[in-house]
Amino acid sequence: MENTNPSQSPHWYRIANIKPALRSHVRIHRQRHRGQRFYILQDAITGAFHRFSPQAWQLIGLMNGDNSMQVIWERACTSQADTPPTQDELLHLLSQLHQFDVLRTDIPTDIIEMVERGQRQTRQQKKARWRSPLALRFPLIDPDRFLDATLPLLRPLFSRVFFSLWLVLALFTGVMALMQWPGLTENISDRILSMENLLLLWFVYPLVKGLHELGHAFAVKRWGGEVHEMGIMLLVLMPVPYVDASASSAFNSKYQRMIVSGAGMMVELFLAGLAMLIWLNVEPGLVRALAFNVMIVAGVSTLMLNGNPLLRFDGYYLLSDWLEIPNFATRSNRYWGYLGQRYLLGVKNASAPAMQTSERRWLFSYSPLAFIYRIFISLSIALFVAQQFFIFGVLLAIWSLSNSLLMPVLKLLQRLALHPGRKKRGLALAAGVTGLFMFVLFVLPLPSATQAQGVLWVADEARLTNGVDGFVKEIKITNGEAVQQGQVLIILASINLEKEKQVLVARLKEFRARFHAGLQQDRAQALVLKEEISFLKAELQRANERLSALQIKSPLDGVVLIPELDDLPGRFLRRGVEIGYILDQRDATVRVVVQQNDIEQVRHHTQALSARLADSPLQTRVASLLREVPAASNALPGLALSLEGGGDFALDPSASSAEDKINNPPDSIRVLSPLFQFDVSLPGTRNELIGERVYIRFEHPSEAAGQRLWRELRRLFLRRFNV
Per residue in 342-353, pLDDT (tens digit) is 777 666 666 667
Helix H, strand E, coil C: the string for 187-210 is: CHHHHHHCHHHHHHHHHHHHHHHH
Report pLDDT for 660. 47
- Residue 636 exposure: Cα atoms within 13 Å on the Cβ side: 27
Sheet with 470-475, edge to edge strand ranges: 551-553, 488-493, 470-475, 572-573
Rounded to the nearest 5°, which phi and psi values hold at 372? -65, -45
82 occurs within a structural domain: yes
Residue 680's contacts (CB-CB under 8 Å, 6 or more residues apart) are 454, 589, 590, 592, 609, 611, 623, 624, 625, 626, 696
Same domain, 555 and 606: no
Instruction: Answer yes or no: is pLDDT of 197 > 60.
Output: yes
Does residue 103 carry a pLDDT above 90?
no
Residue 695 inside a domain? The answer is yes
Asked if residue 712 and residue 592 are part of one domain, the reply reads yes
How far apart CA 101 and CA 123 sit, in angstroms, is 16
Exposure string of 307-327, with b = 16+ CB inside 10 Å and e = fewer, is bbbbbbbbbbbbbbbebbbbe
Q: Which of 306, 323, 340 is the last residue of a domain?
A: 323
Question: Which string of b and e fits 563-577 if b means at least 16 CB within 10 Å?
Answer: eebeebeeeebeeee
In the prediction, which pLDDT does 393 show? 60
Q: How many CA atoms lie within 13 A of 448 on its CB side?
A: 21
Please report whether residue 3 resides in a domain: no
Rounded CA separation 26/40 (Å)? 10
Q: How confident is the model at residue 401 (pLDDT cuts 50, 70, 90)?
A: low
Q: Would 5 be classed as within a structural domain?
A: no
Q: What's the rounded mean pLDDT across residues 441-457?
A: 86
Say whether both 540 and 589 belong to one domain: no
Q: Beta strand pairing status for 693-703 and 670-682?
A: unpaired
Per-residue pLDDT tens digits for 255-267: 999 999 999 999 9
Q: Can you say how many angstroms the Cα of residue 308 is from the centroid of all Cα atoms in its chain?
A: 13
The share of the chain scoring above pLDDT 70, in percent, equals 79
Instruction: Give the distance, in angstroms, between the CA of residue 278 and the centroid of all CA atoms in the same chain.
Output: 30
Query: What is the average pLDDT across 172-193?
Result: 76
181 and 267 part of one domain: yes
- Determine the angle formed by the axes of helices 357-388 and 328-339, rounding to 10 degrees: 110
Note whether 217 and 271 are same-domain residues. Answer: yes
Q: Is residue 239 domain-shared with residue 341, that is, in the same domain?
A: no
- Whether residue 721 is predicted with pLDDT greater than 60 in this model: the reply is no
Q: Is 592 found in the same domain as 567?
A: no
Of 715, 709, 701, give the one whose Cα is nearest residue 442.
709
Distance (Å, rounded) from C-alpha 566 to C-alpha 577? Answer: 17
Eight-state DSSP code of residue 85: P
Residue 632, in any domain of the structure? yes
| Whether residue 312 sits in one domain with residue 242 | yes
Query: Distance between CA 125 and CA 614 in Å, rounded?
Result: 58
Reduced to 3 states (helix: H, G, I; strand: E, B; else coil), residue 677 is strand
Model confidence at 716, pLDDT cuts 50, 70, 90, reads low
Contact 240, 205 (CB under 8 A): yes
Q: Which helix (H) or strand (E) holds 428?
A: helix 423-442
What is the tens place of the pLDDT at every residue in 65-99? 888 888 888 888 888 777 788 888 888 888 888 88
Q: Please state the rounded mean pLDDT for residues 678-684.
A: 87
Give the integer Cα–Cα distance in Å for 230 and 211: 12
Residues 433 and 568 in one domain: no
Q: Are residues 363 and 296 in the same domain?
A: no
Q: What is the distance between the alpha carbons of residues 205 and 200, in angstroms, rounded to a whole number?
A: 8
Asked whether the beta carbons of 130 and 233 are under 8 A apart, the reply is no
Distances (CA, A) of 684 to 470, 539, 622: 38, 49, 9
Is the full-model pTM beyond 0.75? no
Instruction: Tell me, yes or no, whether 579 lies in a domain.
Output: no
User: Does the pLDDT at position 108 exceed 70?
Assistant: no
Residue 44 belongs to domain with CATH number:
3.90.930.60
CA angle 150/154/159 to nearest 5° reads: 150
Show the domain range for 710.
451-459+584-721
Q: Which residue intervals of 618-704 are DSSP H helices?
A: 658-663
Tell me whether residue 223 is exposed, middle or buried, using C-beta atoms within 10 angstroms of its C-beta: 0 to 12, 13 to 18, 19 or more.
middle
Give me the chain's average pLDDT, please: 79
The angle, 0 to 180 degrees and rounded to 10, between the axes of the packed helices 407-417 and 423-442 is: 140
Encoded amino acid at 165, one letter: L
Residue 634 located in a structural domain: yes
Name the least confident of 31-45, 367-381, 401-415: 401-415
| Whether the Cβ atoms of residue 656 and residue 664 lie closer than 8 Å to each other | yes
Beta-bridge partners for 591: 455, 679
Residue type at 356? Q
**Close Cβ partners of 654 (under 8 Å, ≥ 6 residues apart):** none
Residue 267: its pLDDT value, please?
93
Chain mean position to CA 519? 87
Q: Say how far residue 579 (Cα) sits from the centre of its chain.
A: 43
pLDDT, one tens digit per residue, over 154-172 is 999 999 999 999 999 999 9
92 vs 109, more confident: 92
Mark whether 243 and 351 lie in a shared domain.
Answer: no
Look at residue 133 and give its three-state secondary structure.
coil
Q: Has residue 4 been placed in a domain?
A: no
Q: How many domains does the chain have?
A: 5
485 and 430 within one domain: no
Range 304-317 average pLDDT: 84
Task: Convert the pLDDT of each residue in 124-133 to its tens digit.
Answer: 555 555 555 5
Paired sense of beta strands 578-583 and 135-141, if any: unpaired
Domain boundary among 530, 553, 573: 573
Q: How far is CA 417 from the centre of its chain?
A: 36
Phi first, then psi, for residue 117 (nearest 5°) are: -65, -40
Q: What is the DSSP letter of 606?
A: -
Among residues 298, 323, 348, which one ends one of the domains?
323
